[in-house]
Amino acid sequence: MDFVEDARWFTPSAEHSGPGHVTLIGAGPGAADLLTLRAAKALGQAQMVLYDNLVSKDVLALVRPGAELIYVGKVSSHHTLSQESIIDLMVRLAQSGRSLVRLKGGDGYIFGRGGEEAQALAQAGLTFEVIPGITAAQGAGACAGIPLTHRDYAATLVFATGHLRGKDEVALDWQTLSRPRQTVVIYMGIGTLPIICRELLAHGLAGDTPAALVERASLPDQRCVTGTLARLPQLAQDERIKAPALIIIGHVVRLHEQLYPAQTSAPALQAVL
Ligand code: SAH
């Protein structure tokens, strides 16, 4: 595998002609054996892969040896490439006839800007294939022993982002998020956790509503801490919870205590692929 450290200086070679094919792949929450078979096959045949920071080393190890790996990742505070530059690079490479894989953590169409990238490809008249991935919420629920819906506790499931574009950092529909018999999973919310909890409490959710933080779900060092909505910011601070982590709020979190101890660990990678 060759790494191209700084994709800004990457110029497509002229030897290719005609539009290339782009495959947008969801890499799942981290563990490589949580990839779909279709994704694993596409990675095994890839020529060039543009990948983000949430894609684990184990997933990258499945890329065809000799393929070019281009890191275009983003860490919230430190952008390697702006989203516009990533889109521009992807479109230029595809237009020059390259066959590309665009690899993103979780599912590309869930808080992954995969929609924006697909729009850019469509606008440029390029065709692409989308391979879904297991989104972090599903990975976290399964790994932490928290079914996201359950007939006794939640009839509605909401995915929300704690990080929004522009000045209104967290301009969510708090009224909707505070409804009863609902599970709320918040992505990218660790930095804004105190605001999130304060608003949910102000909009009527009880302080003793069960809540969990799941860090690095599906990876060997995954952690899950549970408590109540009122205590969650303190818990995050005490346990030094860091991104990537998800916030799960709702009565389904109670099931963690019963289900997590009874769960066995995941099968080894080789056994699955
Ligand atoms: N497209 C991705 C989400 C990208 S947004 C998906 O479908 O999962 C990035 C956020 O996803 C992180 O801030 C975190 O909230 C969540 N996340 C991603 N991987 C995670 C993991 N392994 N464990 C917990 N949260 C994760």
Q: Predicted confidence band at 18 (pLDDT cuts at 50, 70, 90)?
A: low
What's the CATH number for 2-131? Answer: 3.40.1010.10
pLDDT reported for residue 165 = 59
Going from the Cα of 64 to the center of ligand 1, the distance in angstroms, rounded, reads: 25
pLDDT at 266 (0 to 100): 56
| pTM score of the predicted model | 0.90
**In the Cβ-directed half-sphere of 120, how many Cα atoms lie within 13 Å?**
21
Pocket test for ligand 1, best of 33, 54, 159 (most atoms within 8 A of CB): 54
- Cα distances from 78 to residues 72, 73, 147, 232, in angstroms, run 11, 9, 34, 27
The residue ranges of DSSP E strands in 124-196, in sequence order, are 128-131, 156-161, 182-187
Compute the Cα dihedral for 105, 109, 112, 114 and give only its sign: positive
Is the minimum distance from the CB of 32 to ligand 1 under 6 angstroms? no
Average pLDDT along the chain? 89
- Domain residue limits, the chain: 2-131, 136-262
**Which is higher by pLDDT, 10 or 194?**
194
Residue 269: band (very low, low, confident or very high) from pLDDT cuts 50, 70, 90:
very low
CATH superfamily of 136-262: Tetrapyrrole methylase, C-terminal domain (3.30.950.10)
